[in-house]
Amino acid sequence: MVSSKLLLVDDETDMLEMMAYNLGAEGHQILTAVSGLDALNKARRFLPDLIVLDLMLDGIDGFSVCEILRSQPSTGRVPVLVITALGGQIARLNAMAAGADDFLSKPFSPQELVRRVEEVLAKRASLPLIEPRAGDHSAA
SS3 139: coil
Give residue-wise pLDDT tens across range 20-75.
Answer: 999 999 999 999 999 999 999 999 999 999 999 999 998 999 999 999 999 999 99
Question: Per-residue DSSP letters for 41-79?
Answer: HHHHHH--SEEEEES--SSS-HHHHHHHHHHSTTTTTS-
Q: Which helix (H) or strand (E) holds 39?
A: helix 36-46
Write down the pLDDT at residue 88: 81
| Residue 122 to residue 11: CA distance in whole angstroms | 27
- Amino acid (one-letter) located at 116: R
Going along the chain from its start, the domains and CATH numbers come out as: 5-108 (3.40.50.2300)
Confidence at residue 129, expressed as pLDDT on a 0 to 100 scale: 55
pTM of the full structure: 0.88
